[in-house]
Amino acid sequence: MNWNTRVTELLGCKYPIIQGAFDGFGTSAIAAPVSEAGGCGIITAGALRSPERLREDIRRAREMTDKPFAVNITMIHHVMGIAPQLLDVVIQERVPVLFTAAYKAEHLGMRAKEAGLKWVHKVATSKHALAAERQGADAVVLVGLEGAGFKSPIQLPTLVGITTLAKTIKVPLIAAGGIGDARGFLGALAMGAEGIYLGTRFMATRECPITERAKQMIVDGSPLDPKFRDHALLPPKAEALERVYAQRGSQITGEWLTTLEKVMLGDIGEGSGDGLSDTEIVGGALPSLAIGVIDGVPTCKQLIDGIIGEAEELLLRSGPLARILADSR
């Protein structure tokens, strides 16, 4: 089957499957094998901590694959100050696509576009997706409530968020949040997305540079466990964010951003006391409800081939759509 969409054309990959950004460990170790397997791997600039190390890692990825990959710059406290220099490296090293996320990233996107790169921005709400489109983003990723990472008080679950945004947005839409298998992949395409973006699912792959114990926690984790369920489904309250916004200007930017990020991440605190070490699982962001569909630790190639193979099987032979098609012939 041909899985071309506007997203595969934009990113230059075979399948519309993108690996999420990961502060702390999103290096070439995971990005290169994802791209090599036909998806779009992303190096997270924040994980490299300096422009020099980002340059080295981009070059390392090029030694591992000749397929295109992208770089993500997430505007968080430890990245903001060096973001222009990180972008210089991305442009100089001729990485074809810049992904951005978080607070006020549009100037990076615009500069990337002026330099001839494509720009994809990731958001948690339709409002921000449409704003990114107006600012010139070539595509947007919308993360539903089920997903990991920064949360918004007005974030919707993936099904409703993607389905409604797909009706208004014109640039290609990429779905994220709780997706981890072929059924989620097909569901996202049916909702109107032209690609999927997987964070938690790619963490439980052989190549992902987190501990085996952390991977096993993802495999064993249940979406019914309140630790995961409540964290995902209870976004921060609007009043909590307003309180933080009111402090902008009276605090130095770095300090203020740290507080903002804590609120948007649902502040899981240091050590949850139930066998889930936050630092081990990766510095603050818990895995998402995608844990419900993760049952092993394959290689990136096995994972991507598995999603595509099962999606084709579901469409052509064994799923409800295949039955509807067969019955209507």
Residues near ligand FMN (CB under 6 A) are 20-23, 44, 46, 72, 74, 101, 122, 143, 146-149, 176-179, 198-201, 282, 285, 287-288, 290
Please write down the HEC assignment for all residues of 117-157: CEEEEEECCHHHHHHHHHHCCCEEEEECCCCCCCCCCCCCC
Nearer to ligand FMN, 68 or 157 (CB): 157
Residue closer to ligand FMN by CB (options 26, 38) is: 26
Q: Minimal distance in Å, beta carbon 221 to ligand FMN?
A: 12
The residue (of 61 and 176) whose beta carbon lies closer to ligand FMN is 176
SS (H, E, C) 255-321: HHHHHHHHHHCCCCCCCCCCCCCHHHHCCCCCCCHHHHHCCCCCCHHHHHHHHHHHHHHHHHHHCHH
95 neighbors 117 (Cβ within 8 angstroms)? yes
- Work out how close the CB of 327 gets to ligand FMN at its nearest, in angstroms, rounded to a whole number: 34
Give me the residue label for tokens 């489904």.
233
Please say which residue, 16 or 199, places its beta carbon nearer to ligand FMN: 199
Judged by beta carbon, residue 219 or residue 321, the one nearer ligand FMN is 219
Nearer to ligand FMN, 72 or 126 (CB): 72
CB of 96 to ligand FMN, least distance (A): 18
Nearest CB to ligand FMN, comparing residues 129 and 285: 285
* Nearest Cα to Cα of residue 40 among 214, 196, 271, 185: 196
CB of 82 to ligand FMN, least distance (A): 14
Shortest distance, position 329 Cβ to ligand FMN, whole Å: 36
SS3 category, 17: strand
Output the residue with the shortest Cβ distance to ligand FMN: 199
Q: How near is the Cβ of 234 to ligand FMN at its closest, in Å?
A: 16
Beta bridge pairs of residue 174: 141, 195
Q: Are strands 139-143 and 173-176 parallel, antiparallel or unpaired?
A: parallel
Burial 297-319 (b: 16+ CB within 10 A, else e): bbebbebbeebbebbeebeeeeb
CA angle 65/70/76 to nearest 5° reads 135
CB of 266 to ligand FMN, least distance (A): 12
